[in-house]
Structure 1
Amino acid sequence: MRTALVIGAGLMGTSAALALAGRGVTVHLRDHDPTRSRTAAALGAGTDEAPEGPVDLAIVAVPPAHVATTLATAMREGVARGYLDVASVKGGPRRELAALGADLSAYIGTHPMAGKERSGPLAGSADLFEGRPWVLTPTPETATEVLNLALELVALCRAVPVVMDADAHDRAVALVSHTPQLISSMVAARLEEADETAVRLCGQGIRDVTRIAASDPAMWVEILSANPGPVADVLTGIAADLAETVESLRALQSAEDGARRGGTAGIEDVLRRGNAGRVRVPGKHGTAPAAYEVVAVLIGDRPGELARIFADAGRAGVNVEDVRIEHATGQQAGLVQLMVEPSAAPVLAAALRERGWSIRQ
């Protein structure tokens, strides 16, 4: 691939353009808002000048509702040898494109499983897709050349290709992406009118659950509008679990021993099923999640403290598998939770104590 045209200079389009431009591909940028393509060009994502002739690959990075018409227009213009989109929904846009009479042999639907809470070209990053799954949804009609161009794009962005059926993809993202967004927003919405004393008690749990609730509502309305059925199906199951959980909690308020036992069993059931589901979430390097030991260290909010603690862990010969920071409310300090192999936890704790760190149980 020597040339590419990115249509849509938002987060996804700009990030793909930055990755391609950084690896020697000549990238042209187009957006319905010229200021966005100019901004992306100024960031080093390519040029906002139109290509002189057909490019190797056109990458359509627009909201799902506009994917088919944007692709059809680009195909009529003959701007590229191959065409793909990076929208988060795949089945609907492909059917719309077919209904518009487009040549589906020149097209492949794709979806990089990456993103941020922020949007727009200024949020773009050349490493956004690095190490992340990038779904490809070829059909028997997809030309080999187009599939190869898509695979080359994924490689240049240092992502991991995953081949799926388009409708299976839409059901999958309804479960692992779209529904979590709604649940996160629903939980965060409870905080809007909460008493200030309750909000001040927010810890890492509520921060984890509500992190993605900061996402752009307009963007998510477009995504959810393109995949409403599968998301509603997942939420129906969650609603049933929620109703049973509410009933179990009410039973725990009962004066009858039998009712309380039934309530306890109901709560335990949903928690155990949650444990079983959580175990299936891939861990480090895509493998099954490991049972790490946590070494919690009190750390001051000063420049260089994180670098120092990681350097001390390195000197102890311990590999930190994961890390989390829990900030202390109203204090210039927090807890750094270092996740390590269980056998390494005592070694790390002892080494850090030796170097003056305060270890918390």
Structure 2
Amino acid sequence: MRSAAVVGTGLIGTSIALALRGRGVTTYLIDTDPEAARIAADLGAGVEGTPREPVDLAVIAVPPQHVAAALREHQLLDLAHDFTDAASVKESPQRDAARAGCDLTRFVGGHPMGGREQSGPLAARDDLFRGRPWVLTPSSHTRARTVALARELAELCGARPVVMAHAEHDAAVALTSHTPHLVSSLLAARLLHADASRLGLAGQGLQDVTRLAAGSVDLWTDILATNAAAVADVLAEFAHDVHLMVDVLRALGATQEPEQRSAPLDTLSAVLLHGVQGRARIPVRGTGGLGIGTACATAPRGV
């Protein structure tokens, strides 16, 4: 790959551009917010503006609900020979692209599994995807050349290409990324009206659990709405466990009699043990596991 264009210069788009520039790829930066594109260019991510001739590959780095419109627009403008995206939901954008009349032979869905709770080009890093999975979701229409270019893109960014079906991807990130963000936000919201004296006791544990809640509201509204059904399925199972724990803790709080506390204590211990065991299954970064755990934190720009 000699040339590329990045449409949407938020965190993910700019990080991709920085990685490509570091590998000698001529990269163009396009954004409906000129200031964002200028900042990305000043960071060394590429050349601001549209190329004179079609580039090898264009990356549509915008939120999921805007992928199809941006893809359609830039295919009509002949921006690139082939196209991919970087959104964290794959099934809905693919359907939207088909309805919009996009050329699906020259498009393959993509999702680099890296991100941060910060957004915007200033949060970008050229090593954001190093050692991380980069999911590709080719459709039955996608030509082999397009998949090969998207695979090369992932490798140039230091990531490991992983091919998945659209629905399989969306179910996976609902469990590993989207529901965790929502749960983090729900817990963080409990702090809004908490007494300041109580918050003064907060330690690293609360910081860790609520870190994801600091993400872009606009972006995460888009992501969760686009992958709503899959997230709802995971959240329903989580809610069942939460209700179970409420009952267990109520029972423990209601009595000090050992014979009445035995069963709820066993249930509580089992839940905590399952948590330890579940967390141990998360692949360590760079060890070769699929490791899907972070949504694309693209800033809501570029459409």
Q: Same fold (TM over 0.5)?
A: yes
Separation in 1 of the partners of 2:84 and 2:285? 30
Gap change, CA 1:283 and 1:22, over 3 Å in 2: closer
Instruction: Give the whole-Å Cα distance in 2 for the aligned partners of 1:179 and 1:108.
Output: 25
In structure 1, the partner of 2:73 is 73
C-alpha contact (below 8 Å) 1:253/1:260 kept by paired residues: no
1:163-195 superposed Cα distances (whole Å, 9 cap, x missing partner)? 111111101111110111111112222222222
Alpha carbons 1:244, 1:266 under 8 Å: kept: no
Aligned to 1:120: 120
Aligned to 1:333: none
Give distance in 2, aligned partners of 1:126 and 1:253.
51
| 1:17-32 equivalences in 2 (<5 Å) | 17-32=17-32
Question: 1:265 Cα deviation (Å)?
Answer: 2.3
Secondary structure, in 3 states, of the residue corresponding to 1:59? strand
**2:132/2:286 contact within 8 Å kept:** no
Distance in 1 (alpha carbons) for counterparts of 2:287 and 2:244: 33
Task: Quote the residue 1:228 is aligned against.
Answer: 228
* Pairwise CA distance, 1:287: 6.4
Structure 1 residues 114 and 284: alpha-carbon distance in aligned structure 2, compared to 1, 3 A threshold: closer
The answer to whether structure 1 residue 133 and structure 2 residue 110 are counterparts is no
Shift of 1:85: 0.4
Does the CA contact (< 8 Å) of 1:28 and 1:46 recur in 2? yes
**Higher RCO, 1 or 2 (CA under 8 Å, sep at least 6)?**
2
The whole-number CA distance in structure 2 between the counterparts of 1:175 and 1:258 is 37
Distance 1:64 1:174 in 2: 14
- SS at structure 1 position matched to 2:254: coil
The 1:217–1:72 alpha-carbon spacing in structure 2 relative to 1, beyond 3 Å, is same
Gaps of 5+ in 2: 290-303
Tell me, what secondary structure is at the counterpart of 1:98? helix
Letter in 1 for 2:267: G
- Find the counterpart in structure 1 of residue 41 from structure 2: 41
Aligned to 1:148: 148
Contact 2:249 2:264 in 1 (8 A): yes
Shift of 1:62: 0.7
Question: Which residue is equivalent to 1:330?
Answer: none
What code does the residue aligned with 1:208 have?
Answer: D
SS at structure 2 position matched to 1:57: strand
Alignment of 1:92-241 (within 5 A): 92-241=92-241
Q: Give unpaired runs (5+ residues) of structure 1.
A: 289-361
* Aligned-pair CA distance for 1:257: 4.7
- Work out whether 1:87 is the aligned partner of 2:87: yes
Structure 1 residues 283 and 5: alpha-carbon distance in aligned structure 2, compared to 1, 3 A threshold: closer
Given that residues 11 and 120 in structure 2 are in contact (C-alpha distance below 8 angstroms), is that contact kept between their aligned partners in structure 1? Answer: yes
Structure 1 residue 6 and structure 2 residue 6: aligned? yes
Q: Does residue 55 of structure 1 match 2:55?
A: yes
Q: Measure, in 2, the Cα distance between the counterparts of 1:211 and 1:286.
A: 24
Across the aligned residues of Structure 1 and Structure 2, the Cα RMSD in angstroms comes to: 1.5
Q: SS at 1:4's partner residue? A: strand
> Contact 1:105–1:141 (CA<8 Å) still a contact in 2?
yes
In structure 1, what is the equivalent of residue 274 of structure 2?
273
Corresponding letter in the other structure for 2:278: G
> How far 1:284 moved relative to its partner?
5.5
Q: What percent identity do the matched residue pairs reach?
A: 50
Q: 1: CA distance between counterparts of 2:246 and 2:211?
A: 25
Q: Which amino acid aligns with 2:180?
A: P
Give me the whole-angstrom Cα distance separating, in 2, the residues matched to 1:32 and 1:194.
40
Q: CA deviation at 1:141?
A: 2.1
Q: Structure 1 residues 29 and 287, CA, compared in 2 at 3 Å: closer, same or farther?
A: closer
- Whole-Å separation in 2 of the counterparts to 1:254 and 1:212: 34
CA contact (8 A) 1:64 1:226 kept: yes
Q: Distance in 2 between matches of 1:278 and 1:81?
A: 42
2:293 corresponds to? none
- Provide the C-alpha distance between the structure 1 equivalents of 2:288 and 2:185, rounded to a whole number of angstroms: 29
Q: CA deviation at 1:123?
A: 1.3
Shift of 1:258: 4.6
Residues 175 and 231 of structure 1 are in contact (CA less than 8 Å); yes or no, is this contact kept in structure 2? yes
1:260-315 deviations in Å (ceiling 9; x for gaps): 22221221222122122112111354268xxxxxxxxxxxxxxxxxxxxxxxxxxx
SS of the residue 1:66 aligns to = helix
Structure possessing the higher radius of gyration over alpha carbons = 1
Paired letter, 2:130 = E
Task: Kindly state the Cα deviation for residue 4 of structure 1 after the two structures are TM-superposed.
Answer: 0.8
Task: Give the letter for the 1:283 counterpart.
Answer: V
SS in structure 2 of the partner of residue 192 of structure 1:
coil
Letter in 1 for 2:270: D
Q: What amino acid does structure 1 have at the position aligned with 2:236?
A: T
Distance 1:247 1:153 in 2: 50
1:283 aligns with 2:270: no
Contact 1:19 1:157 in 2 (8 A): yes
